[in-house]
Amino acid sequence: MPCTVIVGGFFGDEGKGKIVAYLSVKDRPTVVARAGVGTNAGHSFNLDGASVKLRQVPSGFPYRNARLLIGPGVLVDPVVFFDEVEKTKVNGRIGVDKQCAIIEQQHIERDKSDMHLSSKVGTTGSGTGPCNSDRALRLTKLAKDLPELKEYIADVPKEVNDALDKNQSVIVEGTQGTFLSLFHGTYPYCTSKDVCASQACADVGIGPTRVDDVLVIFKSFVTRVGAGELAGELGEEEIERRGWVEYGTVTGRLRRAAPFNFDLARRAVMLNGATQVAITKLDVIFPECKDAKSEKDLPKEAAAFIKKVEGSIKVPVALVGTGPDINSIIDFREKRSHPKDQQKTTKS
């Protein structure tokens, strides 16, 4: 599909990075543009046996011909950016929008020392909240003000829209999850801006009419780091017993966990205008699925779970994650025609 926006359906860490990496290698998009808040996000996945963790570089980097862009709505921490550019060797094909606001050391210090942020909200301490607040006050530096970023400076909205004008495909990579949204999440236990699909479009400078697909990602169970309500939350012992233990990519904190929440999933579908969904970590709740690549390799209970999700949210499941490797995935897309194609068939 020419333009796919990918966002999280719960509280972040649903596995957006892995899904974006898989789709980039499989569908070969011309552009992968990172949207979302900034370095508070940690996208991780396994590639050729190695674990990759990304807080700034778009997760589409494994597809070597993809142009990688960071939209003007995203906060850039030059220290993290340069470290990742070096590790991923994406020099020459990554661009940072001239209007990205810059996270400085003082933002990180404020994030960590402010009791409201660090203790009450339980932020990631990456400086994104104070930086977004300074941005609203029009105090932040922008990427174009930093000589060291000069060779990376790009007009991201222009590049993305030009690609779409040429019918080239674009993936917009969101961060966090719907219920961490400043507008739609569990305020004040949320992040410092909206993180739903329409905000992801604004982050990279595309209008809503340019989007073909909104892919919302759900994990097979719900996790959350930091404070705030989590319906059906399990105790630490039970999380361990079920094998659902996870640690935050950015903070290393133990992620709180609860079973899949159908009410939240339906609301996330509504708030994001989902056309497709992905379910990740099916292998964690059904270990027999580990690394399955085909629907026929799924045990009955796992297939029934996918059907139950589809029946509840009324949106097709396009992808199912069965392991941390980018190839551990079941791709249902080939089997199913796109809802827009179905409309065309009905009309003709």
How far, in Å, CA of 312 to CA of 263, rounded? Answer: 9
How far, in Å, CA of 276 to CA of 285, rounded? Answer: 21
Stretch of 69-77, 151-159, 171-179, 264-272 contacting ligand GTP, by CB under 6 A:
171-179
How far, in Å, CA of 196 to CA of 200, rounded? Answer: 6
Site map for ligand IMP, 221-240, x if CB under 6 A?
A: ----xx--------------
- Among positions 31-60, residues that touch Mg ion (CB under 5 A) are 42
Assess 249 for contact with Mg ion (CB under 5 A): yes
Residue 131: phi and psi, rounded to 5, are -70, -45
How far, in Å, CA of 147 to CA of 144, rounded? Answer: 8
Assess 276 for contact with ligand IMP (CB under 6 A): no
Assess 226 for contact with ligand GTP (CB under 6 A): no
Q: How many CB atoms lie within 10 A of CB 201?
A: 24
How many residues of this chain interact with ligand IMP, rule: CB under 6 A?
Answer: 22
263 assigned to active site: no
Q: How far is CA 346 from CA 91, 209, 339, 340, 341, in A?
A: 47, 22, 11, 10, 9
Tell me, what DSSP letter sits at residue 183? T
Give the nearer residue to ligand GTP in terms of CB position, either 134 or 283: 283
Element containing residue 331 per DSSP (H, E): strand 329-331
Assess 45 for contact with ligand GTP (CB under 6 A): yes
Farthest CA pair distance, the chain: 62
13 assigned to active site: yes
| CA 211, chain centre distance (Å) | 16
Assess 13 for contact with ligand IMP (CB under 6 A): yes
- Catalytic residue selected from 27, 43, 212, 338: 43
Assess 127 for contact with ligand GTP (CB under 6 A): no
Give the nearer residue to ligand GTP in terms of CB position, either 17 or 95: 17
DSSP-based three-state secondary structure for 230: coil
Assess 13 for contact with Mg ion (CB under 5 A): yes
Q: What amino acid positions are annotated as catalytic residues? A: 13, 43
Residues forming the site for ligand IMP (CB under 6 A): 11-13, 37, 40-42, 121-124, 126, 128-129, 175-176, 180, 189, 191-192, 225-226
Residues forming the site for ligand GTP (CB under 6 A): 8, 12-18, 41-46, 175-177, 249, 280-281, 283-284, 321-324
